[in-house]
Structure 1
Amino acid sequence: MCFVRSTSVIRWLVVVPVTAILGALFSWLHVPAAWILAAIVASAGCAIYTEEELHVHPLVGNVARSMIAILAAAPIIAADPHQLLHFIVPGLIVAALTIGIGLAGGLILARSSAEISPETGITSMLPGGASLMPVIAQEVGADFRYVTLTQYLRVLCVAISLPLLVPLMDVPSGGVEHPAVFHSWQGYLTLIAIIIVGEPLGKLLRIPSPSILGPMILTILAAQFFSHPSALALPPEAKLVAFASIGWAAGGALSTTALKMFTKRLPATFVFIGVLMSSCALFAVPLHLWLGTSYFEAYLGTTPGGLETVLALADEFGAGPSVAALQVIRLISIVLVASYLPSIVRLLTRRR
Structure 2
Amino acid sequence: MKQGNSLQTDLIFIVISGLGGFLLSLTGMSIGWMIGTLVTAAFIALFRPFRFQRKEKISPIHGNWLILGQFILGVELGQKMNMKVLHIFAENWLSVSFMLIFSIFLAMLSGFVMWKLSKTDMLTSFVGTAPGGLSAMPGIAQEVGANTAVVSLVQTIRVLMVVLTIPFTVFYLNTKSHSDAVVTTHGSAFSSGVFTVSNLTWTAALIFAAWLVSRMAVRLHFPAPWLIGSMLGVATLQVAAGAFIEHDLIPYWPAQANVASQLCLGATIGSKMNKQMFVGLKNTFIVAVISSAGLIAATVLSSIAIAEITGISVITAILAFSPGGIAEMATTAVTLHEDSTFVVAVQVIRVILVIAMLPPFFRFLHHFWVKRQMNYKAAK
**Normalising by the residue count of structure 2, what TM-score does the alignment of the two structures yield?**
0.80
For residues 136-159 of structure 1, the C-alpha deviation after alignment (integer angstroms, 9 at most, x for no partner) is 223322122321232122112212
Q: Is 2:283 aligned against 1:268?
A: no
Aligned to 1:181: 193
- Could you tell me how far 1:208 is from its partner in structure 2? 6.1
CA contact (8 A) 1:208 1:340 kept: no
Q: Which amino acid letter does the alignment assign opposite residue 22 of structure 1?
A: G
Question: Does the C-alpha gap of structure 1 residues 135 and 29 become closer, same or farther in structure 2, counting only changes over 3 Å?
Answer: closer
Q: Does 1:339 align with 2:360?
A: yes
Distance in 2 (alpha carbons) for counterparts of 1:313 and 1:78: 23
Runs of 4+ off more than 6 Å:
345-351
Which residue of the partner structure matches residue 297 of structure 1?
316
Are residues 329 and 101 of structure 1, via their aligned partners in 2, closer, same or farther at CA, if it must alter by over 3 Å?
same
Contact 1:36 1:246 (C-alpha < 8 Å) held by counterparts: yes
C-alpha displacement of 1:76: 1.8
When residues 199 and 238 of structure 1 are mapped into structure 2, their CA distance, relative to the original with a 3 A threshold, is same
- Cα offset, 1:120, TM superposition: 0.9
Measured in 2, the distance between the counterparts of 1:103 and 1:345 equals 15
Query: Does structure 1 conserve the Cα–Cα contact (< 8 Å) formed by 2:210 and 2:230?
Result: yes
Within the alignment, does 1:46 sit opposite 2:44 as a pair? Answer: yes
> Please, which moves more after superposition, 287-296 or 45-54?
45-54
Aligned to 1:287: 306
Residue number in structure 2 paired with 1:156: 160
Identify the residue that residue 216 of structure 2 maps to in structure 1. 201
- In the alignment, which residue of structure 1 is the partner of 2:241? 225
Moved more, 183-192 or 54-63: 183-192
| Aligned mates of 1:303, 1:99 — CA distance in 2 | 11
CA distance in 1, matches of 2:253, 2:71: 11
5+ residue gaps in structure 1? none
2: CA distance, partners of 1:11 / 1:208: 25
In structure 2, the residue matched to 1:117 is 121
In 1, Cα distance between the equivalents of 2:250 and 2:47? 43
The aligned counterpart of 1:83 is 88
Evaluate the alpha carbon distance shift between residue 42 and residue 345 of structure 1 in structure 2; reply closer, same or farther with a 3 A threshold.
closer
Superposition RMSD on alpha carbons, in Å? 3.2
The DSSP-based 3-state class of the residue aligned with 1:245 is helix
One-letter code of the match for 1:340?
F
Distance 1:107 1:346, change over 3 A: farther
Of 31, 51, 61, 1:33 maps to 31
* Residues 326 and 348 in structure 2, CA contact (< 8 A), matched pair in contact too: no
Deviates more, 1:203-212 or 1:322-331: 203-212
Given that 1:129 and 1:334 are in contact with CA atoms closer than 8 Å, whether structure 2 keeps it comes out as no
Distance of 1:298 and 1:149 partners within structure 2: 27
For 2:280 and 2:252, locate their aligned partners in 1 and report how far apart those are by CA, in whole Å.
38
